[in-house]
Amino acid sequence: MVGGHALTITLVRHMIARIWHGWTKRADAKAYKEMLRDEISPSIAERRINGYRGAELFIREDGDEVEFVTLLRFDSMDAVREFAGADEGKPVIFPKAEALIARMEQARHYRVVT
């Protein structure tokens, strides 16, 4: 107790969001979405990367293309490097998926503020 009031200590957990944008042709979007859901996401989880906290997928129709945004959560940049390698901004593209991706950006990393 401090001055008659309970002292509450909040532990802030640091987290890194890795955000990547990629586009497919409209005709390839369904196949890519299914590959992400059925193969790629489970294989990332199976790697058991220390500090990997899951992923989300966002999809938006964008003219003749479909935009895919992935948001992967990690405890630290060390965990990101375990996932992506030394060049942490380089997209991690599975070989089967490469043929479906029309264009992509480098991955970006953000500190999650809570």
Q: Is residue 10 part of a domain?
A: no
Q: What is the pTM of this model?
A: 0.83
Q: Is residue 84 part of a domain?
A: yes
Mean pLDDT of the chain: 90
Q: How many domains does the chain have?
A: 1
Which residues, including other chains, have CB under 8 Å from residue 84's CB and lie 6 or more apart? 18, 90, 92, 107
Q: Look up the CATH number of the domain holding residue 105.
A: 3.30.70.100
Residues 36-46: tens digit of each pLDDT: 999 999 999 99
Contact 103, 71 (CB under 8 A): no
Q: Give the C-alpha separation, 97 to 29, whole Å.
A: 11
In a domain, residue 29? The reply is: yes
Res 114: pLDDT:
77
Reading the block at residue 102, the tokens are 């029309």
- Per-residue pLDDT reduced to its tens digit, 12-35: 468 999 999 999 999 999 999 999
Whether residue 9 lies inside any domain: the answer is: no
Question: Could you tell me the residue range of the domain that residue 77 belongs to?
Answer: 15-112
Question: Looking at the domain assignment, is residue 6 inside a domain?
Answer: no
